Amino acid sequence: MRNFEKPTRSVAVSAKAMAATSHPYATLTAINILQAGGNAMDAAIAACAVQCVVEPGSTGVGGDCFALYAPKGGAEVIAYNGSGRTPKALTIDWFEERGLTEVPRQSPSAVTIPGAIDAWTRLHADHGRLPLAEVLAPAIRYAEEGYAISPRVHRDWKKEEELLAADKAAAEIFLPGGRAPRIGETHRQPKLAATLRKIATEGRDGFYKGSVAEDMVAHLNAHGGLHTLEDFAAAKGEYVTPVTTDFRGYTVHECPPNGQGIIALLILNILSCFDNKLEPHSADRLHLEIEATRLAYAARDAWIADPAKANVPIDELLSADFARRLAEKIDLTRALTELPDFEMPLHRDTVYISIVDEERNAVSFINSIFDSFGTGLVAPNSGVILHNRGQSFSLKRGHPNMIAPEKRPLHTIIPGMVTRDGRTEMSFGVMGGYYQAMGHAHLISKVVDYDMDMQDAIDLPRLIPVGGKVPRVEAEHTVSAETVAELTRRGFEIVPAEDPIGGAQVVRIDWENGTLTGASESRKDGVALGY
């Protein structure tokens, strides 16, 4: 039960349907779509399209998408991988010839072919109910007529003024008057509205062929990119089989590699090796979560890659023996100091959407352009922000995640789903880039191990390890001074978080009462709503 003297908010409760997103416009759009006769998939795509307009730093049509779908609240979970591949002409040699040891952010070499629109159109065709034009209409309206800037959107936008100023098209669209729009100001994106209208009428071909594709390719080529129209025309995601683990009687479902969802399962498997009676935010419990994450992320950076191009040891990573061997390395008296440094960029931007409809269809949906405003490159005629997902590749020869032609990178964005006793229990996800795997485990553990109110679990202070050899940990200021002192005594270097860490949305089905509960991230602008 929530403490009503604590400054937070209650979970949303409804009888029929529920939507939880990180922006009020998106949540309201999802509810409107559901009440107009759409289903959970229609609502998720509609909400995501709106967020591509109103949260342009966090997501966009020029990004990637993953989704989990549980039809009618059953135990069957369908997964879709909407991550894009590198251009056919891009090889490791291109980087070595230029003396590069990592993929530069503001470079076309960081732009894999965007997979989001392929995912939206395929998922809509297979599982949606309303016409695509009706689903995308709210996003088109906001882009064309304007939307008011919310506080968190403004904060994140303002931090990227220098990045946006470096690209003429980006500056024209996203720095009106030479600056980021302020809270309460209205911003419009008519070029993006036209692009969304093409997608609404032409489907995936409206993005991957014709004038929009030509605009993206021309802009990338002008900056030295190797992308071709053929690369865009060939873009295609795929249905995949989820990976799962059992945690305290619940089955947790994640998309398989090239995503890092399997690492969230590994962290849960490590936590399963320990007593779940520790106080949820004690130094011991946080020590355990930090070390489980550091060990799991070392495994991620070593092995997670595109399974079509590399051998990913999925069964080994999910085995109880592997989790136990890692758990045995954890010493609650001192921090581990012999782990490799993380190789992934420490980015923090994404949007996540959770929807359950009247038929109990559940959708867990995530869409991202990686860093805030991606590469900072914007296709000038279509208004498409080009993501920088290619930064997740390794440039080490022989590494499973080494960049190569037509290859997908290790992906941080991960939707989650929980089932129990043959039924869907929760649709959940965590925003925040590299934090997401830890965030999934942290959230599920708090709800399952401690029977916490979902909003309370989301509101808990967060921390995230950012170092291997040096056990450095970013902590929000809400972590108690006593806990920080104790973790420091054990050898962790605790530093203030650069930004609020992550974000989460959850919708849970109460089968006994026939109702739904939802929670949304208090560090963002969004809400959970139902009817």
In the 3-class helix/strand/coil scheme, how is 165-210 assigned residue by residue? HCCHHHHHHHCHHHCCCCCCCEECCHHHHHHHHHHHHHCCHHHHCH
Strands 351-356 and 18-20: antiparallel
How many whole angstroms from its chain centre is CA 231? 24
Question: Which stretches of 22-80 are DSSP H helices?
Answer: 24-35, 40-54
CB 292 within 8 A of CB 441: yes
Report the greatest alpha carbon distance in the chain: 63
Marked catalytic residue, from 86, 121, 251, 350: 350
Cβ 371 vs Cβ 380: under 8 Å: no
Return phi, psi of residue 301, to 5°. Answer: -65, -25
| Rounded Cα distance, 453 and 450, in Å | 9
Beta strands 493-496 and 472-475 are: parallel
Residue from 62, 7, 25 nearest 368 by CA: 62
Residue 367 and residue 51 in contact, taking contact as beta carbons nearer than 8 Å: yes
| Whether 226 contacts 90, CB under 8 Å | yes
- 350 in catalytic set: yes
| Catalytic positions | 350
